[in-house]
Amino acid sequence: MNALRMNVLRAYSGIFVVAIYLGESFVLMTRDKPILLAIDDYLAATVMLALIWKPLSQTRLAGLCACWAFCVGNLYVMTFYRFDPAVGGGKNTTLLVAALVASLAGLAATAYRLRHNDKETA
- Domains, the chain, ordered by start: 2-121 (1.20.1440)
- C-beta pairs of 98-105 under 8 Å, 24+ apart in sequence: 99/19, 99/20, 99/23, 99/75, 100/72, 100/75, 100/76, 102/16, 102/19, 103/16, 103/68, 103/71, 103/72, 103/75, 104/72, 105/12
Q: Residues 59-104: pLDDT tens digits?
A: 999 999 999 999 999 999 988 888 877 776 667 788 889 999 999 9
Q: Residues 13-41: pLDDT tens digits?
A: 999 999 999 999 998 998 888 888 889 99
